Amino acid sequence: MAQPFTMTDRPRDQQKENRARRLSAALRDNLKRRKAQAKRRKVVGHAEHAQGAPSTETHDSAGFAEDKQER
C-alpha cells in the first residue's frame, strides 16, 4: 500500500520546483549576457581593426618564417 503524502513532503517538492525555476532563469540570463558580450567584442574588434589598431595576428618582421619553413 502506498504511503500518503505528509505535510512535510509537499513543501520540499515545492522548494525543489522553485529552485529549478530559479536555476533555469539564471542560466537563461547568463546565456543572454554572454551572447551580448561576445557580440560587443566582435563589433569592437572589427572597429579597432578598421581604425588601424595593432593587430593580434602574428608577423614576421625578422624574416624567421622562411628560415623555419626550409627545415
**Predicted pLDDT of residue 43:** 84
- Asked if residue 4 belongs to a domain, the reply is no
- Asked if residue 67 belongs to a domain, the reply is no
**Predicted pLDDT of residue 35:** 95
- Asked if residue 31 belongs to a domain, the reply is yes
**What are the CA-CA distances from residue 68 to residues 4, 56, 71 (Å)?**
77, 21, 6
**Predicted pLDDT of residue 17:** 95
Cβ proximity of 64 and 58 under 8 Å: no
Q: Total structural domains in the chain?
A: 1
Instruction: Tell me the whole-structure pTM to 2 decimals.
Output: 0.48
